[in-house]
Structure 1
Amino acid sequence: MKIIHSDRLPTPGGHYSPAIISGNNLYISGQLPISLASPKPQGELAEQAQIVFNNIDILLETAGINKQHLVNVQVYLSDVALWPEFNRLYAQWIGDHRPARTVVPCSALHYGALLEMSAIAEIALG
């Protein structure tokens, strides 16, 4: 097992690792729309989603892979009414790749974020 972290991301505020490699899989912890430049969520869904996508891209890159290696994505939205816009933004980010995905509407997320996203990626394809 190997812990994955990047100096390009904020230090986790809780007792967890940003990502873990175990076997041939990378497990990415829930990513909130926070960055070194923006330590608290701000802005509308498009801005928050871009930060979350960027955080996931950074962790994938740090592990030596990219989003084409994603096999499962879990998305938590603070309001199910955000789903159509999120789905459009997600499709722009992910492109033609279609990993398994779950979208869970929930009443509130940490720091008032509009979304949180976790993922599982395969290290070795084929």
Structure 2
Amino acid sequence: MKTIIKTDKAPAPIGPYNQAILAGDTLYVSGQVAIDPATNQVVQGTIEVETILVMNNLKAILNEAGFGFEDVVKTTIFLSDMGTFAKVNEIYGSYFTGNYPARETVQVSVLPKNLNVEISVIAFKG
């Protein structure tokens, strides 16, 4: 069974996709960027400001589906500049309490809306 997850506490999709899909016990959350869910406007600031907003958007989607960061098993982080990795990693890590998920981090040439960080997650409750 597949369920579409949607919340107004995270940005509306900017294309033909959903915020998240719950398939059985697994939640697939689309990549989130620094868009303010209240205004659906891009928030360009420091990498710290963008990362906090991205993580809060992910949290809102996870919570809407009845999940939390403790249920995340896999993340993917896309950065426009690998030089920001340490700052992103510090903020990212603060949302988890041990039992960290598997992860990859890659630098890409451009992200949607010319932002600097995008993160997607997969969560599981079994």
Q: TM-score, normalised by structure 2?
A: 0.93
Residue among 110, 113, 116 paired with 1:114: 116
User: What is the letter of the counterpart of residue 21 of structure 1?
Assistant: L
Higher mean alpha-carbon deviation, 12-21 vs 38-47, is at 38-47
Q: Is the 8 A contact 2:9 2:61 kept in 1?
A: no
Q: Note the residue ranges of structure 2 that are not aligned, 5 or more in a row.
A: none
Which residue in the other structure is 2:62 paired with? 60
Encode CA deviations 1:11-56: one digit per residue, 9 max, x unaligned: 2110000000002100000101102246113110111001110011
Letter in 2 for 1:78: S
Any idea what the Cα deviations from partners look like across 1:63-82, whole Å, max 9, x if unmatched?
11110000000000000101
Question: 1:63-82, aligned counterparts within 5 Å?
Answer: 63-82=65-84
Identity, % of aligned pairs?
32
On the 8 A contact 1:41/1:112 being kept in 2, the answer is: no
The answer as to whether partners of 1:41 and 1:111 remain within 8 angstroms in 2 is no
Matching residue's letter, 1:20:
I
What's the counterpart of residue 34 of structure 1? 35
Number of aligned positions between the proteins: 124
> Structure 1: 5+ residue runs without aligned partners?
none
The residue type paired with residue 120 of structure 1 is I
2:46 to 40, 44, 47: 44
State how far apart, in whole Å, the 2-side matches of 1:30 and 1:44 are.
19
> Where do 4+ consecutive residues of structure 1 move more than 4 Å?
none
**One-letter identity of the residue aligned with 2:94:** Q
Other-structure match for 2:105 = 103
Secondary structure in structure 2 of the residue aligned to 1:97: coil
How far the C-alpha of 1:93 sits from its partner, in A, is 2.0
The alignment's TM-score, normalised by the length of structure 1, stands at 0.93
When structure 1 is superposed on structure 2, of 105-114 and 35-44 the one drifting more is 35-44
